[in-house]
Structure 1
Amino acid sequence: MEQQHDGLAERFEANRAHLRAVAYRMLGSASEAEDAVQEAWIRLSRSDTSGVENLRGWLTTVVARVCLDMLRARESRREEPIGDHVPEPVLNHDGGGNPEHEALLADSVGPALLVVLDTLAPAERLSFVLHDMFAVPFDEIAPIVGRSAAATRQLASRARRRVQGAAPDPGADLARQREVVDAFLAASRGGDFDALLALLDPDAVLRADAVTVQMGAEAEVRGARAVAGTFSGRARAARPALIDGAAGLVWSVGGQPRVVFTFAVADGKITGIEMIADPEHLGELAIVG
């Protein structure tokens, strides 16, 4: 039993940095993020996870639920908004991890963005952070916030518009996104596997909606090498576009979008790509380009 517990602890520690990043973006407080991560460990240690195939996904969901409860409690107590004080820096409390990564994380979620995020309702913030920053699909976020996948998509879209509208310099972030997406498209068209690999986070995930799957795509592809292999030498007909104000790609036929590619980018790496071909969903998107 002790050996099994030690093995579970090792698997948890392997995901700690990811969970801390999720929690920090949710809460804007390093100490509260650490509390949320510790609560996830407590719940893991008390749960039967023998049937869990994707422990990272399971833990992400647990941390998201803990953070949502903390955000709602914060709101109900009408606590002082995070914008009225300096957000806590990201600190590596356990002495492990990569200090350079911690610094990049702090830069990518600076005080300006935290101020904007703090204006969002808890469900909006969770939907936006999980989907746009960590490429979690809406059908997995929906049960956490108690909404349908379509309603959750709208929460994230509303949050995205507020973030982009209130950010001090939204053009800077957009320029970086475009640079990454344009480089990805060029590498894809040129069949440059190594360049694709360099642009992808090691745990990058490619997901396709049901209509795209009917067109021949795989529903889900995990890992940088697999995603790079899927795109290498392809996407020749895709063109850069703004999708709900974010850098993406669109494949059109007769001037009508048929497939949209949205990208989640963090620290200059693509963490997730979503392929959307469902006509109803496409009709909800603001596509420019």
Structure 2
Amino acid sequence: MTPQDFLAVQFEGHRSHLRAVAYRMLGSLSEADDAVQEAWLRLARSDSGAIDNLGGWLTTVVGRVCLDMLRSRKARREESLEDWLPDPVVGREDASDPEQEVLLADSVGLALLVVLDSLPPAERLALVLHDMFGLPFEQIAPIVDRTPSAAKKLASRARQRVRGAAPEPDADLSGQRRVVEAFLAAARGGDLEALVSILDPDVVLRADGGVLTGGMKAIRGAAAVSGQLATFQRMASSAATYPARVNGLAGLVNTVDDQLISVMSFTVSDGKIAAIDILSDPGRLARLNLTHPGGGSK
């Protein structure tokens, strides 16, 4: 085995973790893959023998690449995740894909990703790398051109912005699933009373059908969301619906004639549905490369 081959093997051992870091930073699976690839290119050009902690070095590099990508996105005034939903990470209920399982285990809900995108890039990086992946501020500081103390303040400000902005999902996945099944039953039966009974008063529905539909639309409040019952009923009546885990939470994959038409994520908090996130953009759904039935990667 050549030194380059050995380095490639070492890198592959960190790929899943690096992809998880990049996904939380960017909310885009394709951009996360680009960031990880750039980290490999930088490693291949570096003096790897001088790297004491390869995992920490790679995490730092991916963080720096993601920060540059976020800043470039803002500078070009591209749509943020306030205008489109982040890419969902979809897994089978029976957990069959090891790499997908790593990403699911390290993922956060779509509702929280939307909140993270409202943060300034440097604050998002400090929060993600420290609070979610345990990187010390001494390593975060050079990435954001701050002292460790200033980097700590960035994370603190981000933490304050995030706190309470996204509902905290219930930990019990089986409990989440029961609530989602109740939602599906209410939709199929057109049962308004049953639907209202499982909605949090402050529930938010975000639906992203892509550019042709004007991007993401948001509806807030139980009255407004329950007012979409006819739409839910049409979906439940016309689509074949399968349970899936979406960003680690209970969700649904909907197909018509074996064609994926939407992915739905539910944030269940205190036994009520606090957020529903629906991606139905055909182009982005195609890039998810899901199998039938019930999600999972090919």
Q: What TM-score bracket applies, with the shorter chain setting the length?
A: 0.5 to 0.7
Residue 97 of structure 1 deviates from its aligned partner by 4.1
1:1-289 mapped onto 2 (5 Å cutoff): 3-90=2-89, 97-105=98-106, 108-167=107-166, 169-170=167-168, 172=169
Residue 109 of structure 1 deviates from its aligned partner by 1.7
How many corresponding residue pairs? 169
With 75-84 and 6-15 compared, the bigger mean Cα shift is at: 75-84
Q: Check whether the contact 1:23–1:36 (CA below 8 A) recurs between aligned residues.
A: yes
Q: Check whether the contact 1:91–1:102 (CA below 8 A) recurs between aligned residues.
A: no
Q: Deviations over 1:107-153 (max 9, x none)?
A: x4221011100000010000000000011111110111001111111
Name the SS for the 1:120 alignment partner: coil
Q: RMSD of aligned C-alpha atoms? A: 2.3
| 2:45 partner amino acid | R
Residue 89 of structure 1 deviates from its aligned partner by 2.8
TM-score, L = length of structure 2: 0.53
Larger Rg belongs to: 2
| 1:19 partner amino acid | L
Q: Deviations over 1:65-112 (max 9, x none)?
A: 1000000000101111113222113379xxx8433333334xx42210
| 2:137 partner amino acid | F
Matches of 2:13 and 2:90 in 1, distance apart?
A: 17
Matches of 2:151 and 2:104 in 1, distance apart?
A: 31
Q: Check whether the contact 2:27–2:86 (CA below 8 A) recurs between aligned residues.
A: yes
Matches of 1:147 and 1:99 in 2, distance apart?
A: 34
Q: 1:74 to 1:45 in 2, by over 3 A?
A: same
Q: Check whether the contact 1:30–1:91 (CA below 8 A) recurs between aligned residues.
A: no
Matches of 2:90 and 2:32 in 1, distance apart?
A: 10
Q: Check whether the contact 2:17–2:102 (CA below 8 A) recurs between aligned residues.
A: no
Q: Deviations over 1:253-273 (max 9, x none)?
A: xxxxxxxxxxxxxx8xxxxxx
Q: Deviations over 1:178-222 (max 9, x none)?
A: xxxxxxxxxxxxxxxxxxxxxxxxxxxxxxxxxxxxxxxxxxxxx
Structure 2 stretches lacking a partner, 5+ long: 92-96, 173-247, 249-298
Structure 1 stretches lacking a partner, 5+ long: 177-266, 268-289
Q: How high is the sequence identity, in percent, across the aligned residues? A: 62
Matches of 2:22 and 2:99 in 1, distance apart?
A: 17
Name the SS for the 1:66 alignment partner: helix
| 1:84 partner amino acid | D
Name the SS for the 1:89 alignment partner: coil
Matches of 2:15 and 2:27 in 1, distance apart?
A: 17
Name the SS for the 1:84 alignment partner: coil
Name the SS for the 1:166 alignment partner: coil
Q: Check whether the contact 1:40–1:63 (CA below 8 A) recurs between aligned residues.
A: yes
Matches of 2:109 and 2:82 in 1, distance apart?
A: 11
Greater length-normalized contact order (CA 8 Å, ≥ 6 residues apart): 2
Matches of 1:68 and 1:138 in 2, distance apart?
A: 16
Q: Name the one with the larger helix percent.
A: 1
